[in-house]
Amino acid sequence: MEKVASAVLFPCKYATTGCSLTLHHTEKPEHEDICEYRPYSCPCPGASCKWQGSLEAVMSHLMHAHKSITTLQGEDIVFLATDINLPGAVDWVMMQSCFGHHFMLVLEKQEKYEGHQQFFAIVLLIGTRKQAENFAYRLELNGNRRRLTWEATPRSIHDGVAAAIMNSDCLVFDTAIAHLFADNGNLGINVTISTCCP
């Protein structure tokens, strides 16, 4: 039976939504975990929203279920996180619209261990991994004759925020650094999105 199973190719379980791959049974689970045709989950940080749907439905979901998220137009904006001194884990989320795409800006504060909080800032594309490769983003903290900059390729919302934070593949800074750049507990992050040459 094992010989037969290793010779047979099986369709991806997302064949009905467009995936045309056929794989050996041993390759199927790994592929299906990263398949571009699997449903998208709500990209908002935190586990409270269980929504899943197609990429085309993500923006509609965000505008109806998460009305408090502000959207700014243009490739160069300021993401203002208010009350960064709030205790515990906190998320700030904003949308940026430019180049015909929507980007989600996330600043997440986590308590890594007792009394030590870290901030994680990242940009996600409401789009596929392949589309994300066409863009670059820059996050910049400015103030008091100091500048802290992070430049990277945005992640697709398919990958989510948690994986980036786990790998520190984002702008990471602690409370002391946040206070160097904050003004009355509010932190302004300059966000610039640009297109890359293929």
Q: Which amino acid is at 73?
A: Q
What average pLDDT does this structure show over 95-102? 96
* 3-state SS, residue 46: coil
Tokens 């990277």 belong to residue:
152
Give the chain's domains with CATH numbers.
Answer: 63-193 (2.60.210.10)
User: Rounded to two decimals, what is the model's pTM?
Assistant: 0.86
Tokens 């408090």 locate to: 68
Output the CA–CA distances (angstroms, integers) from residue 8 to 23, 100, 142, 188, in the order listed. 8, 42, 58, 55
Name which residue leads in pLDDT, 107 or 56: 107
φ, ψ for residue 110, nearest 5 deg? -130, 145
The whole-number average pLDDT for the span 60-67 is: 90
pLDDT tens column, 112-165:
777 788 999 999 999 988 999 999 999 999 988 999 999 999 999 988 888 888
Of 150 and 89, the structure prediction assigns the larger pLDDT to 150
Mind giving me the DSSP string for 139-156?
A: EEEEETTEEEEEEEPPEE
Q: What is the pLDDT of residues 7-52, one digit of tens each?
A: 888 999 999 888 899 998 889 889 988 888 888 889 988 768 899 9
| 161-172 per-position pLDDT tens digit | 888 888 889 999
Least confident residue range of 26-35, 50-59, 65-74, 109-118: 109-118
Phi, psi dihedral angles at 29 (to 5 degrees): -60, -40
Q: Which region holds residue 119: left if phi is over 0, alpha if psi is between -120 and 50, else beta?
A: beta
Element (H, E) at 4: helix 2-7
* Both structure tokens of 175: 């409370």
With a cut of 60, say whether residue 198 has pLDDT above it.
Answer: no
